[in-house]
């Protein structure tokens, strides 16, 4: 199984985007470098419950990037032939075993970061983290975390170093929507 996963991961084909979020018509294998102002697209899902807490996952310690750190609900590269919503749903199901309908995801914003464009999605769900089917090669744990705790964890290095204003925006939007 691990050999198949490694082979599939190595063969992931990613579309190249320009800084304005448009496909360029060029694709690369995951891991190949992008050139100049080329960008790759990443989809992030922030699942929020009725207490305005985010379902977060802790990355496996052996992960090359941010090993052992807490992270958003799910996320990953958008593959060739997918749009960001499809990638967000795929990653959420692969990483946490949580299947949501496309209408359950709401696009929030795009945040440029390094050579990627990070698309953020908001979803509402009430789920017991103990019932999730975690992808054990990538995810070590999952739990609900408050906005204040996520921010503190980013500041002290226990959480992936997302820009704080983007994380605040996710929680603020979720809180505003729940008040409607």
Q: Is residue 31 part of a domain?
A: no
Q: pTM of this prediction?
A: 0.91
Is 79 a member of any domain? yes
For residues 178 and 171, which has the higher predicted lDDT (pLDDT)? 171
Domain for residue 10, yes or no? no
The reply to whether 170 falls in a domain is yes
Structural contact between residues 121 and 44, judged by C-beta atoms closer than 8 angstroms: yes
First to last CA, the chain: 46
Structural domain span for residue 81 = 39-179
Q: What is the pLDDT of residues 108-123, one digit of tens each?
A: 999 999 999 999 999 9
Question: Has residue 11 been placed in a domain?
Answer: no
CATH of the domain at 136: 3.90.79.10
Each residue's pLDDT tens digit, 140-151: 999 999 999 999
Residue 12 lies in a domain: no
Q: Give me the mean pLDDT over the 163-179 stretch.
A: 94
30 within domain boundaries: no
Residue 8 has pLDDT above 70, yes or no: no
Q: Is the dihedral of CA 23, 29, 30, 35 positive or negative?
A: negative
Number of domain units in the chain: 1
Do the domain assignments include residue 5? no
Residue 88 has pLDDT above 90, yes or no: yes
């Amino acid at each position: 199984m691990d050999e198949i996963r490694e082979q599939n991961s190595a063969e992931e084909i990613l579309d190249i985007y320009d800084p304005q979020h448009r496909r360029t018509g060029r694709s690369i294998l995951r891991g190949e470098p992008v050139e100049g102002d080329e960008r790759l697209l990443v989809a992030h899902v922030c699942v929020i419950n009725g207490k305005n807490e985010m379902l977060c996952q802790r990355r496996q310690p052996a992960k090359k990037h941010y090993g052992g750190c807490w992270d958003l609900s799910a996320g990953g590269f958008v593959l060739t032939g997918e749009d960001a919503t499809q990638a967000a749903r795929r990653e959420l199901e692969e990483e946490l075993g949580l299947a949501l309908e496309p209408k359950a995801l709401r696009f929030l914003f795009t945040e440029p970061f390094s050579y990627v464009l990070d698309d953020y999605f908001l979803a509402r769900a009430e789920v017991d983290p103990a019932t999730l089917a975690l992808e054990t090669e990538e995810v070590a744990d999952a739990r609900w975390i408050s906005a204040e705790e996520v921010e503190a964890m980013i500041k002290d290095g226990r959480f992936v170093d997302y820009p704080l204003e983007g994380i605040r925006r996710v929680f603020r939007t979720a809180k505003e929507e729940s008040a409607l």
